[in-house]
Amino acid sequence: MKKGNKFGIHRVIEPVGFMPQAAQKISNDMEIFDNEILIDVDALNIDSASFTQLKSEAHGDPEKIKNKIMQIVEERGKMQNPVTGSGGMLMGKIAQIGDAIKDKINLAVGDRIATLVSLSLTPLKIQDILDIKMDIDKVMVKAQAILFESGIYAKLPEDMTDAVALAALDIAGAPAQTIKLVKPGNNVLILGATGKSGVMCSYIAKKIVGSTGKVLGLARNEARAEYLSSVGFCDSVVVADARNPVEVYEKTLEANDGKEVDISINCVNISDTEMSSILPVRDDGIVYFFSMATSFTKAALGAEGVGKDVSMIIGNGYTKGHAKITLDILRESPKLMKIFQEKYV
């Protein structure tokens, strides 16, 4: 076997010297290097911001989405949306392990795993797209992929279905980071609270803030607000357009006794929501952008423009132990587990 670089730069075709995620094109030749893992892939969970953009461009036509995904992978060697720059993650079975890492990892051929690194850096070759599950951003495929030596993964658990585990692991960074950021007594605003990352962050935030704090969930319309109220993880529901920062600000203050919140968590899958995350947060508060549609420029210059002294955190999809943390959250909450079982199949 050929010797590979730990971070996968041996796969980069263009521009040379770039990391695989930043590269425009990488090699998706499925002959593995000595430090790579070959995966037989059966499902892709496309990043929510990416899938929303693909769906909009295709006017909701599954066949056009299929063709676009095939085109992207053919051109780039990976599933990286050229508009959002984001990817997603995958689920599959270990087909081969490179000689240099066989004795270093706790994996064997035949193990089923979910990768916890982005499809935007993962060499991928799709033979066929079998189905597109439009409501949950999931693409069923016959494909193969490569996991680099530095790539992280989780073995799929035996006490829940693969579909539920994949959906949860896809957003594992959000609840794990929420645990780090939220403190007892905080007032927390969650944008995109009805989505899978938002509902899980709402649950864990409420658990942390306790009776002395408050969790406010943002919903885009009355129907979503009714759903959010029925779930019961948020103390109050704010109905507003996440792209209208003044509306979000005013309605948040109205729901929070006239006070700005300590923390906002952005879990939306559309662009132009940076200022709606920043405006309602008090000075010295925290803004956590988990959304892959976030623009650093809009956030940084926007906060400066309104004189907001807030700490803004870009949502690293990885934090130590995030896979176990997220699956354990599902296990401890029957209501959350039921939501995932009913919706993400």
pLDDT at 344: 84
Contact (Cβ atoms closer than 8 angstroms) between residue 276 and residue 287: no
- Among the residue ranges 174-178, 313-317, 319-323, the one predicted with the least confidence is 313-317
pLDDT at 316: 78
Tens digit of pLDDT for each residue in 18-45? 999 999 999 999 999 999 999 999 999 9
Where are the chain's structural domains?
9-156, 173-343
Given the structure tokens 């000689």, which residue do they identify?
99
- For 134-221, strand residue ranges (E) read 138-147, 153-155, 187-191, 214-219
pLDDT at 268: 93
Tens digit of pLDDT for each residue in 280-297? 999 999 999 998 889 999
Q: Alpha-carbon distance 287 to 181, whole Å?
A: 10
Region 134-161 average pLDDT: 95
Tens digit of pLDDT for each residue in 171-212? 999 999 999 999 999 999 999 999 999 999 999 999 999 999
301's tokens: 């210059």
**3-state DSSP helix/strand/coil % of the chain, to nearest 5:** 35, 25, 40
Tens digit of pLDDT for each residue in 109-118? 999 999 999 9
Contact (Cβ atoms closer than 8 angstroms) between residue 232 and residue 262: no
pLDDT at 300: 96
How close are the terminal C-alpha atoms of the chain, in Å?
38
The answer to whether residue 6 scores a pLDDT higher than 90 is yes
Q: How many CB atoms lie within 10 A of CB 128?
A: 10
CATH of domain 173-343: 3.40.50.720
Tens digit of pLDDT for each residue in 42-99? 999 999 899 999 999 999 999 999 999 999 999 999 999 999 999 999 999 999 999 9
- Helix/strand/coil for 143: strand
- Helix/strand/coil for 309: coil
Q: What is the DSSP letter of 50?
A: H
Please report, rounded to a whole number, the percentage of residues in the chain having pLDDT higher than 90.
94
Most distant CA pair in the chain, distance:
64
In the sheet that holds 236-239, the strands lie side by side as 236-239, 214-219, 187-191, 261-266, 281-289, 311-314
The answer to whether residue 138 scores a pLDDT higher than 90 is yes
The answer to whether residue 318 scores a pLDDT higher than 90 is no
pLDDT at 292: 85
pLDDT at 195: 92
pLDDT at 43: 96
User: 102: number of CA atoms within 13 Å, CB side?
Assistant: 11
- Compute the C-alpha angle 339/122/170, nearest 5°: 10
pLDDT at 293: 87
Please report, rounded to a whole number, the percentage of residues in the chain having pLDDT higher than 70.
100
Q: What is the DSSP letter of 71?
A: H
278's tokens: 């920043």
pLDDT at 320: 87
The answer to whether residue 345 scores a pLDDT higher than 80 is no
Q: Which residues contact 135 (CB under 8 A, 6 or more apart)?
A: 343
Region 212-240 average pLDDT: 96
Sign of CA dihedral 13, 18, 19, 24: negative
